[in-house]
Structure 1
Amino acid sequence: MKICAVFVISLAVVGLAEKVKFNDYKVFTVIPENEDQLKALKDLELDAVASFDFWASAKSVGQKADIMVAPGQMEEFHDFLQENNLQTSLKVEDVQKLIDNERPLITPRNMEWSDYHPLETIYSFLDDVIAQYPGVVSNVQIGSSTEGRPMRGVLISYNQGNPGVFIEANTHAREWITSATATYIINEFLTSQDPEVRRIAESYDWYIFPVVNPDGFVFSHTNNRLWRKTRSRQGLICQGVDPNRNWAHEWQPGPPGASDDICSLTYAGPEAFSEPEVRSVGNFVFENREKIQVFLSFHSYGQVLLYPWSYIAQDTPDTANHIVIGNAMADAIRTLEGTEYEVKSSYDLSSDDICSLTYAGPEAFSEPEVRSVGNFVFENREKIQVFLSFHSYGQVLLYPWSYIAQDTPDTANHIVIGNAMADAIRTLEGTEYEVKSSYDLYEHSGTAIDYTYGTAGVKISWTFEFRDQGTYGFVLPARFIIPNAIEALRSLPALLDESTRLGYITQLKSLTN
């Protein structure tokens, strides 16, 4: 086991006692121009002793990496650049100023979408809509977190026997835009008079979980705005597992798909589904796999729509269809404000280093947060036909796989669906989303969409990497909540219509809710 740097130790200890400040922390963009430079960047990212926080990773030559550098790391960082003949540009001058300007001066008491809200406000909002819409909205609790917080979501069901769509958000604690978007979608499904919104709200059963990593999310509000992982104890000084490296499909305890260092941001955990949060979601989806036909995972950043796989550069049987669906989503987003989303494999976006931010954990499903989601999806696999995972940032729509550069049997269709989503988003404000395999973003194992697609059999499994493309990164100002949420909402009819046209979504009138 590696010994974590003093820098990491001090952050871990201070984080328990007081709020971490990021004064004079800077974010640099580095673009490798050859394979040697690319390897040097990858080695630096996995080096938990160096402990640089990669906001965005470079998987290939010419692809940018965004790296946060602490004041005490500046000399080491410049030495690294010089040794590897790397050029850099300054993206963020002072991370703390970015955080200070993220939220409005006056914070609203109740749920609205001009600000980011803590967990208690989000759960109060869920209680309110359950009380206001009896018979349509019901509470769903799928487990508890490591620290005992309930893992809560809602089921919105207007008609018995509808196919199910599962949405998870705030898997990574610092990606606040994802839970804000999820709660906005809940509100729109209940209050909007827009015919397209009403059509999809009433034609599907929506399982929406705004915060599937409640412990990490609370910690990001109270102690460390840039906290990423769960809060399970790992060794003497480090805490947390990367919940999106802890799922029980092609879980890897170390490189290249994750880290085995317990202090790493990509630590995969001691075993698959070690985290109760992950295990709970996984079990629920699996148990309802005949109902849940779509799984969507919301993340940030990058503006990318990702499909499986994440762990290998290999198509699934559905890759061609995933690309079609992803492009439909990207087109839908683009029509709003011109926002561009990519569509790519999740692989093209992990670490065995326990000090790494992407440590996958000691085994699959080691984290309760991951295990809870996984179990829920698996147990409901006959009902859940769509799984969506919301992340930030990057503006990307991702389909399986994440762990291997290989198509699934559905890859071609995933691309069609992804492009439909991207087109829908683009029509709003011109925002561009890419559509790609999750592996194409970077290689990472033990991911949500690889599990829901490969184990639970939810063929429409997508990761959304929300706004932006790096100007603000994880600290997206609250004024972007509504534009981002509208783009995500606009992509959903494109996703569902293309998926139905391609034969992935079927009505389940014989099933009860």
Structure 2
Amino acid sequence: MGSLTKTVVLLCVISSVLCTPFINKLQPGQEWPTRSSVKQPYHQFDEIENGTISDTVATEVAAQEEKAPENNKPKVKEDDVERIDYSGAQVWKVSTKKSNAHRVINQLASEKLIASWGGNHTSIDILVKPKAVENVTATLKNKDIAYYIMIEDLQQRIDEENPPLDENELELQDRRGHRMTWKQYHRLEDIHGFLDYLAKTYPSIVSVNSIGKSHEGRDLKVLRISDGKKTNKAVFIDGGIHAREWISPAVVTYFINQFAENFDVESDDIRNIDWYFLPVVNPDGYEYTHKTDRLWRKNRRGFGGCAGADLNRNFGYQWGGKGASRYPCSEIYRGSGPFSEPESKAIAQFFKSTGADFSAYLTYHSYGQYLLYPWGYDNALPPDHKNLETVGKMMAQAIQKTGGSEYKVGSSSGLLYPAAGGSDDWAKSLNIKYTYTIELSDTGRYGFVLPASYIEPVARENLAGLRVLASQVNKE
């Protein structure tokens, strides 16, 4: 499709939290926190010219592309929109235990035969392009590198991922007053409509505020659930930083629904916290995955001949270091500078201007089933890492007890790979104690195209983990 040429919509500069009017009027004493000065840490903005520039291996394939990456993918036309067609593409899990594995994978990537989906210290998940299956198979077998096929036809998985609702669900939709179901992945309009519905239905505890605009002018809507007690703690939760990770906004909106609909009967641990939710950090990219390219990752701002920055490499703390690319065509392009993107900048300005003293920051991603704490920028640990490990394991135990899924706990760089400029590191640098990145299900069988039937089970077990965190926050 090439890069977008739409005029950049100016970011709403937040001089206070009330950048735009509330959808509802709260009861006296239940306003959002007034603006206060929150100290920002010293950010190291020096560019690293030769750092690690891939999520799993040091590939810079996209950097040599003269056109946007999506121009190199086959397209089909549907509803007057050209959609990327992944028919015949496969997803493999490749062992990287052999010393030559990274070099071989780099070579295959440089020949544009594969693309990285993610991985850890022992394996990497790769997307093998349709016409490259035989070539990649022969190469890996020749080099004695173990692999197995997780997805045989990626487009088939995409087609099956989000089936339409049955008549009973559609009827329920009409009666509820909103379209959210958690039996289906929903478009941004449904998600934002759901937030507005809750604000109108529960005005004494729920409010919605746009903290800024995306590049294409979409609202970045934050919903707050609070009974207004001055003694309340505060927790911030976001989702959808990476566009293709659909399970993330679905899980975050599930949390919202559970707390808002059941607040009167919730535990004190939940009621004694001011909950702030930003379900879709990257609304432009999220819509693009629904309309054009299901596997789009970045935001949609144009950079030369390529589109998008990786918002989770654009936050100011240790920006530009390992695992963040300086090349605009890369999947992990860090942006032109720290907080160069309107979406990440809006979050930073919100934290700077709000009076809330956050005890925890959780950012939900997919996939892999990991519960990660800082630091991500390098193989280092914060002073309170033992406490983060202990609480993380308690959350993981609650998840497993509820739904059976096993989540590994550890630092981002230690358990996975270095990735500088992440939102979790930045939040930790603000002295927010409990900072975690949660990589949701699964472990690769479906990867980014997790069927909608998994939404409720994944959300339910992660809600159990969130309750553990709430309990810990209230003990502080």
TM-score by length of 2: 0.79
Counterpart of 1:171 in structure 2 is 241
**Correspondent of 1:50 among 108, 112, 131:** 112
- Give runs of aligned pairs for residues 276-315 of structure 1, distance below 5 A: 276-288=342-354, 291-315=357-381
Measure the CA separation in 1 of the matches of 2:391 and 2:84: 41
**Correspondent of 2:217 among 144, 148, 155:** 148
Measure the CA separation in 2 of the matches of 1:288 and 1:239: 32
The Cα shift of 1:38 comes to: 3.7
**Correspondent of 1:88 among 147, 158, 161:** 147
Counterpart of 1:127 in structure 2 is 196
Amino acid at match of 2:308: G
The Cα shift of 1:111 comes to: 1.2
The Cα shift of 1:12 comes to: 7.0
Amino acid at match of 1:450: D
Measure the CA separation in 2 of the matches of 1:257 and 1:174: 19
Deviations for 1:247-295, whole angstroms, at most 9, x for unmatched residues? 1010116xx3212221111111111111110111122123337521110
Higher strand share: 1
**Correspondent of 2:96 among 29, 32, 37:** 32
The Cα shift of 1:78 comes to: 3.4
Measure the CA separation in 1 of the matches of 2:355 and 2:139: 48
Deviations for 1:44-65, whole angstroms, at most 9, x for unmatched residues? 59x566373322224x3xx121
Counterpart of 1:71 in structure 2 is 130
**Correspondent of 2:422 among 435, 447, 470:** 447
Counterpart of 1:4 in structure 2 is 65
Max Rg structure: 2
- Give runs of aligned pairs for residues 13-32 of structure 1, distance below 5 A: 18-32=82-96
Where does structure 1 differ by over 4 angstroms across 4 or more consecutive aligned residues? 12-17
**Correspondent of 1:226 among 274, 290, 295:** 295
- Give runs of aligned pairs for residues 221-260 of structure 1, distance below 5 A: 221-236=290-305, 238-252=306-320, 256-260=322-326
Amino acid at match of 2:125: D
Measure the CA separation in 2 of the matches of 1:12 and 1:262: 18
Counterpart of 1:459 in structure 2 is 433
Measure the CA separation in 2 of the matches of 1:302 and 1:338: 14
Structure 1 pair 94–194 and aligned structure 2 pair: CA distance change class (3 A): farther
Amino acid at match of 2:164: L
Structure 1 pair 458–174 and aligned structure 2 pair: CA distance change class (3 A): same
Measure the CA separation in 2 of the matches of 1:460 and 1:211: 21
Amino acid at match of 2:463: L
- Give runs of aligned pairs for residues 89-108 of structure 1, distance below 5 A: 89-106=148-165, 108=170
Deviations for 1:146-186, whole angstroms, at most 9, x for unmatched residues? 01111112111113221111011011111111111111111
Measure the CA separation in 2 of the matches of 1:111 and 1:146: 25
Q: Is the 8 A contact 1:30 1:64 kept in 2?
A: yes
2:474 corresponds to 1:484: no
Q: Is the 8 A contact 2:65 2:329 kept in 1?
A: yes
Measure the CA separation in 2 of the matches of 1:261 and 1:81: 28
Figure out how many residues of one structure are paired with residues of the other and give that number: 401
| Secondary structure of residue in 2 paired with 1:315 | coil
CA RMSD of aligned residues (A): 2.4
Deviations for 1:35-86, whole angstroms, at most 9, x for unmatched residues? 3324544x459x566373322224x3xx121111111333553354256431
Structure 1 pair 51–73 and aligned structure 2 pair: CA distance change class (3 A): closer
Counterpart of 1:416 in structure 2 is none
2:260 corresponds to 1:190: yes
Measure the CA separation in 2 of the matches of 1:29 and 1:72: 18
Q: Greater relative contact order: 1 or 2 (C-alpha under 8 angstroms, separation 6 or more)?
A: 2
Structure 1 pair 133–193 and aligned structure 2 pair: CA distance change class (3 A): closer
The Cα shift of 1:452 comes to: 0.6
Amino acid at match of 1:498: Q
Structure 1 pair 158–244 and aligned structure 2 pair: CA distance change class (3 A): same
Measure the CA separation in 2 of the matches of 1:239 and 1:37: 30
Q: What runs of 5+ residues in structure 2 fail to find an aligned partner? A: 1-61, 174-178
Measure the CA separation in 2 of the matches of 1:344 and 1:287: 31
Q: What runs of 5+ residues in structure 1 fail to find an aligned partner? A: 349-439, 504-513
Counterpart of 2:404 in structure 1 is 338
Deviations for 1:6-59, whole angstroms, at most 9, x for unmatched residues? 793524795995011110110111112233324544x459x566373322224x
| Secondary structure of residue in 1 paired with 2:255 | helix
Measure the CA separation in 2 of the matches of 1:139 and 1:51: 45
2:261 corresponds to 1:181: no
- Give runs of aligned pairs for residues 315-334 of structure 1, distance below 5 A: 315-334=381-400
Amino acid at match of 1:19: R
The Cα shift of 1:334 comes to: 1.2
Amino acid at match of 2:255: I
| Secondary structure of residue in 2 paired with 1:274 | coil
Measure the CA separation in 2 of the matches of 1:283 and 1:73: 45
Amino acid at match of 2:324: A
| Secondary structure of residue in 2 paired with 1:474 | helix
Measure the CA separation in 1 of the matches of 2:412 and 2:400: 21
| Secondary structure of residue in 1 paired with 2:228 | coil
